[in-house]
């Protein structure tokens, strides 16, 4: 049995969205990113930190990364995203 066999039951219990890889898990991975950014900035506050790839172009992730304090987002080709305000 692969891990894909558990997806339907996790979705039924609302533990996963219908598209678990379409966006960033803001409560899990987002918090890890935030802890990493805060930790590094506590020792080197002018460090520029950014994200690249598909999550850089996903609108909800872009807003989270902006809130966390990342300096830049680099989107994968084919993605279009609004700049968070």
The verdict on residue 13 lying in a domain is no
Task: Report if residue 62 sits inside a domain.
Answer: yes
For helices 59-68 and 29-43, angle between their N-to-C axes, nearest 10 degrees: 30
Residue-number span of the structural domain to which 33 is assigned? 25-85
Q: What is the pLDDT of residues 55-69, one digit of tens each?
A: 777 777 888 888 999
Count of domains observed in the chain: 1
C-alpha dihedral sign at 20, 78, 48, 71: negative
- Does residue 6 sit within a domain? no
Residue 46 resides in a domain: yes
**Does 18 fall in a domain?**
no
Domain annotation covers residue 61: yes
Q: Determine, yes or no, domain membership for 10.
A: no
Residue 64 belongs to a domain: yes
Burial of 64 (0-12, 13-18, 19+ CB in 10 A): buried
pLDDT digits (tens, 9 = 90+) for 6-55: 777 777 777 766 565 667 777 888 899 999 999 999 999 899 999 887 77
Predicted model pTM: 0.63
């Amino acid at each position: 049995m692969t891990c894909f066999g558990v997806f339907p039951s996790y979705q039924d219990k609302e533990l996963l969205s219908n598209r678990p890889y379409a966006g960033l898990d803001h409560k899990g991975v987002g918090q890890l990113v935030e802890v990493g950014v805060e930790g590094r900035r506590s020792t080197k506050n002018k460090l520029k930190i950014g994200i690249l790839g598909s999550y850089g172009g996903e609108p909800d992730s872009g807003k989270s990364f902006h809130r966390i304090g990342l300096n830049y987002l680099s989107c994968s080709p084919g993605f279009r995203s609004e700049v968070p305000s």
